[in-house]
Amino acid sequence: MLKVGLTGGIGSGKSEVSKRLAQRGAVVIDADKIAREVVEPGTQGLARVVAAFGEEILRPDGSLDRERLGSIVFADPDKLATLNGIVHPLVGERVAQLQQDAPDDAVVVYDVPLLVENKLAPMYEVVIVVDAADEVRLERLTRVRGMSEQDARARIAAQAGREERLAVADVVIPNEGSLDDLDARVAEVWRRLTG
């Protein structure tokens, strides 16, 4: 099993690379996606979060109101620690299960947006960084995701800088061109990972 950490700044195209690696046969483990799954309606995770923070964190349909919960926990470090104490072990269990279920010869790609910020590079045998200039990312965030320029700039500034990400990279996938260009680069990286 080859453990690969995949990261890139917001708007870099990391999700597109993750999707293309999965299409080629990688087992992709997306920690953010799992963190959402473990607090879906009907889960033990959501029940525990409601027990800790009250019914007011639920939407009328019974799903978690992430914005309301965020406004509570990000204003209080103790409450954030409580939430992390509930969610992180559940995410860890699910990641361990996915890893255990992967074939011995699998390329397991961990999609980790904050790999650099959380100093996680040593956990992986290969670190792939999807790279694009800040101005390219800014344009994508405003045009494709509909963010205001101010919001997009704030999100870019809140993450590790481009140089910090490139410093931990074993493999860099430049992504400032077309999706066809990206396909070709991902195919080349996949050959290296499986060769």
How would you label 113-129 residue by residue, b for 16+ Cβ within 10 Å and e otherwise? bebbeeebbeebebbbb
Quote the domain boundaries for residue 22.
Answer: 1-26+106-195
Looking at the structure of the chain, the number of domains it has is 2
Q: Which bin fits 117, alpha (ψ -120 to 50), beta or left (φ > 0)?
A: alpha
109 in helix, strand or coil?
A: strand
Q: What CA–CA distance (Å, rounded) separates 164 from 142?
A: 24
The last residue of one of the domains, among 104, 128, 150, is: 104
Per DSSP bridges, beta strands 27-30 and 126-131 are: unpaired
Digit-by-digit pLDDT tens for the chain (195 residues) are 999 999 999 999 999 999 999 999 999 999 889 999 999 999 999 999 999 999 999 999 999 998 899 888 888 889 989 998 999 899 889 989 999 999 999 999 999 888 998 899 999 999 999 999 999 999 999 998 888 998 888 888 888 999 999 999 999 999 999 999 999 999 999 999 998
Q: What CA–CA distance (Å, rounded) separates 70 from 57?
A: 9
The last residue of one of the domains, among 104, 129, 146, is: 104
Q: What CA–CA distance (Å, rounded) separates 81 from 194?
A: 39
